[in-house]
Amino acid sequence: MHHRRGEPAGWSLVELVMVIGVSLVVGALALAAFAPLGARARAIGAARYLAALLQRERMEAVRTGRVCGLRFDDDGSAIGFVRVVDGNGNGLRSAEIADGIDPMRGQRVRPADAFAGVRFAIVDDVPSIDGGPGLAAGADPVRLGSPILAFAPTGSATSGTLYLASADRQQFAVRVLGATGRVRIFEFERATARWVPR
């Protein structure tokens, strides 16, 4: 490929973020089209989609210098989330999201919208991933300390774990490590009663 003198070569960060965003959307739609896949495969797909979305939010926070993240809620039928961004420089706050000061980006999303049968849930008693107290079936699957998972411009994040369940009751978790913003996926193996990285 030839470049004119003075013309930069390669991709800009904005172009890269746009390509990743389009790839995530196309990937999610393609996975949703394969409905005959097993429940476990759909749950793994949902966990990977959520992990990629969280990594994208982290990149967006670093790129823009504004706190970005997801706000979770339960509308009575299912837990979902909406992407949000800090609008006034003081972080993400539920009251400011409700007032439109911290604007929402896009529509509310539920895992089942793209991955049939997958939902935020703890379906059976399971041990904690980090060795803390175990989690009871039916406990809150959004373990963040608040309904907002935020990424700072420094790359750090809210620490916590999001639990997903498949239609056949298999359990997955997407874990965010606060200091680094690292995102990891785990699956609960019933045979060994332990969480295994995926």
**The pLDDT of residue 20:** 76
**Pair 181, 155: CB distance under 8 Å:** yes
**Pair 91, 71: CB distance under 8 Å:** no
Q: Is residue 155 part of a domain?
A: yes
Question: Is residue 22 predicted with pLDDT exceeding 90?
Answer: no
Q: Is residue 80 part of a domain?
A: yes
Least confident of 33-37, 51-55, 65-69, 110-114: 33-37
Region 35-41: what's the mean pLDDT? Answer: 75
Residue 69, beta-bridge partner list: 84, 150
Q: Is residue 90 part of a domain?
A: yes
In which domain, by residue range, is 169 found? Answer: 13-197
For residue 23, what pLDDT band results from cuts at 50, 70 and 90? confident
How many Cβ atoms are within 10 Å of 183's Cβ, its own excluded?
19
How many domains are contained in the chain? 1
pTM of the complete model:
0.80
**The pLDDT of residue 34:** 54
**The pLDDT of residue 36:** 45
Kindly report the CATH number assigned to the domain that includes residue 114: 3.55.40.10
Q: What is the DSSP letter of 57?
A: H
**The pLDDT of residue 33:** 53
Q: Is residue 7 part of a domain?
A: no
**The pLDDT of residue 35:** 47
Q: Is residue 5 part of a domain?
A: no
Q: Is residue 2 part of a domain?
A: no
**The pLDDT of residue 21:** 73
Q: Is residue 4 part of a domain?
A: no
The Cα 89–Cα 13 span in angstroms is: 22
Q: Is residue 8 part of a domain?
A: no
Angstrom distances, CA of residue 77 to CA of 71, 144, 185, 193:
17, 21, 25, 30
| Between 168 and 25, the higher pLDDT residue | 168
